[in-house]
Amino acid sequence: MKLQTKLLVTLCPVLFSANLLAQSFVNFDEESLSNAKEALNNKTAHAESTLAYNQLLTLADSLLTLQNPTVMDKKISPPTGDKHDYLSISRYWWPDESKSDELPWIRKDGQTNPSTQNNDVDKQRIELTTKSIQALALAYYFSGEDQYAKKGVSLIRTWFLDENTLMNPNLEFAQSVPGINKGRRSGILDGRIIPQRVLDAITMFSDSKYWSEEDDTKMNVWLTQYLAWLTTSDLGKEGAKQTNNHGSWYEYQVAAVSYYLGDTKQTKQAVKNAEIIFSQQFDSMGAQPHELERTRSYFYSTFNLEAITSTAIIAEKVGLSMWEYESKNNATLIKGIDFLIPAANGNEWIYNSSVEGVTPDNLAPLLAAIPEKIRSKEQSELLTKLLQGLETNDNKKAYQDEIYKKFLLYMPQYIK
């Protein structure tokens, strides 16, 4: 991988080391991914991993002819009238049928309004764009085929860099609600998929002939402006105060983007901020009161932990360990995961599940995120059990298939 502009701009020369380059990914573990690539190239990969790889290439091939999505395609304009501003409508909000104009919409937790998920707004487009960028990046990383880099880079340019089609670096109108004419802090959640899917993709594309220094500079400018919006705007400041999963995903975004840009001081502060709200998120037993009151309580418990463990992975890259942190009320990250294990093993889940019951497979990536040196026998056994269940499940739901393929491609060491 070639050294990216962000490092040249933001880091002093003493930090340029082989170790720094080895830790260039934000989310992925470089060693695991490299080992998986070597096994695929040497034809020694698990048969299921080889199948998942071939399916990845088939998907990437289909994306080569995709018309690049852009925020300019939406049918509804944001209040500014500028289609460059990202716009989405909150998924759990519905027209108020008790009012003649049905405004403002009202919240029905856990019940997705289909009209919030169509192409009139940007949510589906940013999902498609970021998923496509990540898939093409992985296809390029594993295969070395330039066509995947060419298409992936073009998607990045269209969504983030081309002045005619780019998304402005803010989420002022994300998860908006008809009838409420002000921005909502919960909209920051929409932005999590940018650092989740795009940052490591850029690193993968960076050694291709299609990713230029100009692209790198422009992308760093976009990300710097987005990070500034997250940390200085009124909505961003409100997002930082949240103590549910929204707050966790906020700190993840700040940690991920700042780490990518080389600002380790800000990364460390984001990690510390994530730890500060532990005592408000978890009780001493590991339960999450904010998430347990939701109609999809098990899912949202794992969703919050996904954000925190993702931040913990970044924390390790700047010399911090969230796994060792214990709040004043004795809450720890391990306790939060362990609290969900009995239900994953088939014990009764006594909390709110009026819309969706227990989804134990969402626990698998969290168990894998626990450093091996502190992962308990019970945690390891459950991880093996969940993965074996996914392997033999011929009727996987979409989320289960996605989880299993991630293990097959990124973490095949866990596949027995």
Do both 10 and 82 map to the same domain?
yes
Is the distance from CB of 49 to CB of 408 less than 8 angstroms?
yes
* 38, part of any domain: no
Single out the residue in 241, 267, 300 at which a domain terminates.
Answer: 241
Residues 365, 218 within the same domain: no
Report yes or no on 411 lying in a domain: yes
Model pLDDT, residue 16: 32
State residue 21's pLDDT score: 36
Domain-embedded: residue 48: no
Residue that terminates a domain, selected from 241, 270, 289? 241
Helices (H), 79-212: 123-143, 146-156, 193-197, 199-205
How much is the pLDDT for 183?
73
Per residue of the chain (416 residues), give pLDDT as tens: 443 444 444 433 333 333 333 348 999 999 999 999 999 999 999 999 999 999 999 999 999 999 999 999 999 889 899 999 999 988 888 999 999 888 899 989 889 888 888 899 999 999 999 999 999 999 999 999 999 999 999 999 999 999 999 999 999 999 888 888 677 888 999 999 999 999 999 999 999 999 999 999 999 999 999 999 999 999 999 999 999 999 999 999 999 999 999 999 999 999 999 999 998 999 999 999 999 999 999 999 999 999 999 999 999 999 999 999 999 999 999 999 999 999 999 999 999 888 889 999 999 999 999 999 999 999 999 999 999 999 999 999 999 999 999 999 999 999 98
153 and 275 housed in the same domain:
no
pLDDT score for 219: 98
Position 57 in a domain: no
356 shares its domain with 219: no
The residue ranges of DSSP E strands in 243-388, in sequence order, are none
Asked if 188 and 269 sit in the same domain, the reply is: no
Co-location of 287 and 389 in the same domain? yes
Whole-number Cα distances in Å, 30 to 25, 308, 383: 7, 20, 21
Task: Examine the fold and report which residue of 181, 214, 241 is the final residue of a domain before the chain moves on.
Answer: 241
Q: Taking Cα atoms as reference points, which of 206, 221, 310 lies closest to residue 267?
A: 310
Count of structural domains within the chain: 2
- Return the pLDDT at 176: 87
Q: Are residues 91 and 208 in the same domain?
A: yes
Q: Quick one: pLDDT at residue 362?
A: 98
Contact between 64 and 109 under an 8 Å Cβ cutoff? The reply is: no
DSSP string across 185-208: GGGGGGGGHHHHHTHHHHHHHTTS
CB of 296 closer than 8 Å to CB of 111: no
User: Which tokens belong to 181?
Assistant: 């004419």
Assess if residue 58 is contained within a domain: no
| Domain of residue 233, CATH code | 1.50.10.100
Domain limits at 89?
A: 1-28+66-241
Residues 6+ apart with CB under 8 A from 314: 26, 27, 252, 255, 256, 259, 267, 271
Residues 197 and 294 in one domain: no
Peptide bond before 289: cis, by omega within 30 degrees of 0?
no
**Are the C-beta atoms of 93 and 106 separated by less than 8 Å?**
yes
Q: What is the pLDDT of residue 7?
A: 43
* Rounded CA separation 131/146 (Å): 18
Residue 142 shares a structural domain with residue 274: no
Strand, coil or helix: 405: helix
353 plus 300 within the same structural domain: yes
Cα distances (Å, whole numbers) of residue 164 to 159, 160, 225? 10, 10, 18
141 plus 217 within the same structural domain: yes
- Between CA 54 and CA 272 the distance in angstroms is 41
Q: Which two tokens stand for residue 86?
A: 């990202």
* In a domain? residue 250: no
Q: How far is residue 21 from each of residues 264, 295, 317, measured CA to CA in Å?
A: 15, 43, 12
> Which tokens belong to 188?
């920051």
9 with 95, same domain?
yes
373 occurs within a structural domain: yes
Cα separation, 375 vs 398, in Å, equals 28
Backbone angles phi, psi at 175, to 5 degrees: 50, 45
Q: Which residues touch 70 (CB under 8 Å, ≥6 apart)?
A: 125, 158, 159, 165, 166, 167
Whether 13 is covered by a domain: the verdict is yes
